[in-house]
Amino acid sequence: MKDTSTDKRWKADELAGILDGTWVTAPPPEWFADSFTINEKYIPQNAVFIALSEDTKTDEDENPRLSEKIRSIEKNICGVITRKRVFFISPDLPQLIVEDSSAVIEKLALNARNSTNSKVICITGAKHRNYVRQLTDFLLQVNNTTYTNGPADNKSIDNLLSLASSKHGPDYIILETFYYDIRKGNGRLCHQLAPHICVITDAGITDREVKNPEKSLQHKLNFCQHINNEGIVIISGEMKYYELVRNELSRMGVKTISYGFTEACDVRAVSYEVSESGYLINAVARGKEIEYYLPVYGKAMLESSLAALAIMDTAGVKMEQTEHLASFIMPEGDRNFDALPFKKGSVYFIDDSRYNTLSSLIFALDTFKDLEINEGGKKIAVLGEILFSGRQTNEQFIEALDSFEFDTVLFYGKEMAEIYRLMPDDFEKMIYYKEVNVIDDILDNLWENDLVYLKGGNLDKTPQRLHKRIIRSNRFKYNWVIAIAILVGLFVIRLI
């Protein structure tokens, strides 16, 4: 929900003044902008494209690559900010020339931050950031205006772009960011965002830091000194080294609120039970009892909902709004858990195809490890390209699959040939090089109560196609039942 009154939008003269720039192609008098982008593949509504300085470093007056890029998007943007004039694009597209286009984003973000009374919520940590952001935004939208970034927009430069795009002054600005980005430069980004509420979902202590976590925490938590004067830090009581984190923040004089499942947490789940594809939850927020239904499976989502409750409690929002969580829908492709009618029962799907890293696979399988399927059901993994990073190994990959007790593992693509070869013989496994063959084999061996987990960078369309084939097979089955019933009926009538 946005307030789009024109006095809260970016005007041509205002931009030129803030950025000390010159319009070489002037906008019309009524021109304004709502947002900014540096990515030609992601263009918000009424956005100005910022050509970063590295895109304009050339000794020539013309930059063919940049010209081609802007020509491909000029119908979807309302202007360009660049270090050098761009030729061979529409003569009507406004162009603002600045000395250093890389400094533009920070100037715009700081101007927007200083001219708004919005409450800024910053969500960081090593896990669950995306879930906490989604649930918080969903709840706060009920009676407030909000602006939030997205899961692909959580680097420091994207957070500043989001801040610049929120000049319309919503009630809440909800930003997800990487732990590394928010704490680098002695917390400079946190100082620029000046959050009123900062959520830390996990301390992110690495294997190298585990021998001396105190020293690591002192460095990692420095950014908390740069939050808003009345700011509060919300921390997960489920994170490793929770006591160390809380004690360090207390030593720094930072106010904290905790959430989780233990009695010591300020916001906690007293009890919860599985109901359909979600949870019925009894929670307590600093002494106040709350009951709500969360229609999404996974303990990570349950924990994230407690973080959203802690944010609401800290922001002074009525806790009764938690009843709206009953209508929350997980965005498509975001570790969706679905049940589809199949034969005389159902089959279950975990669509994790949006993410393609080994870290996210391990996290997803941990999220769903308590998922119970009916007796007789088998677990099938369908794995496309998985990216490893750092010191991650094939052994960790195999261990994650083994811990989830998959009965069958189907690999897709030449990228997975090596890991397929290394899989132990006690796994039932197969490798495919055509998507249609994967889907055909799943359908040939699928039975009631089976669970299918889909993961991999080259499987982005497979879940939808598999769903359609299953729905079609059920229709085919019902059509045959109807046809047989009609034939029997005609035969009986004829006998009569």
Least confident of 242-256, 378-392, 479-493: 479-493
Residue 451 has pLDDT above 70, yes or no: yes
Residue 59 has pLDDT above 60, yes or no: no
Residue 58 has pLDDT above 70, yes or no: no
Give the pLDDT band (50/70/90) at residue 60: very low
Least confident of 160-174, 200-214, 416-430: 200-214
**8 A C-beta contact, residue 457 and residue 354:** no
DSSP H or E run through 78:
strand 77-82
Q: Collapsing DSSP states into helix, strand and coil, what is residue 176?
A: strand
Residue 4 has pLDDT above 50, yes or no: no
The contacts of residue 148 (CB under 8 Å, 6+ apart) are: 133, 137, 162, 173, 174, 175, 176
Which class is 116-327 in CATH? alpha beta
Give the pLDDT band (50/70/90) at residue 383: very high
Average pLDDT of the chain, as a whole number: 84
Q: What is the DSSP letter of 196?
A: S
**8 A C-beta contact, residue 349 and residue 439:** no
- Confidence (pTM): 0.74
Torsion, Cα 242 247 252 258, to 10 degrees, reads: 50
Phi, psi of 109 (to 5 degrees): -65, -45
Interatomic CA distance for residues 275 and 281, integer angstroms: 10
Bridge partner residues of 271 (DSSP):
282
Residue 476 has pLDDT above 50, yes or no: no
Q: Exposure pattern of 371-399 as b/e (b: 16+ CB <10 Å)?
A: beeeeebbbbbbbbbbeeeeeeeeeebbe
Dihedral sign from CA coordinates of 467, 468, 472, 478: positive
**8 A C-beta contact, residue 139 and residue 324:** yes
Bridge partner residues of 455 (DSSP):
383
Superfamily for the 6-102 domain: MurE/MurF, N-terminal domain (3.40.1390.10)
Kindly state the average pLDDT of the residues 458-470. Answer: 82
User: Could you give the percent of the chain with pLDDT greater than 90?
Assistant: 37
Neighbour tally for 294: CB within 10 Å: 24
pLDDT of 276-324, one tens digit each?
Answer: 678 899 999 988 899 999 988 778 889 999 999 999 999 999 888 899 9
Helix, strand and coil content of the chain, in percent to the nearest 5, comes to 40, 25, 40
Token pair recorded at residue 312? 């609401």
| pLDDT higher at 411 or 6 | 411
The contacts of residue 493 (CB under 8 Å, 6+ apart) are: none
Give the pLDDT band (50/70/90) at residue 63: low
Q: Where in the chain is the domain with CATH 3.90.190.20?
A: 336-478
In terms of CATH architecture, what is 336-478? Alpha-Beta Complex (3.90)
Which residue is listed with tokens 């801040």?
163
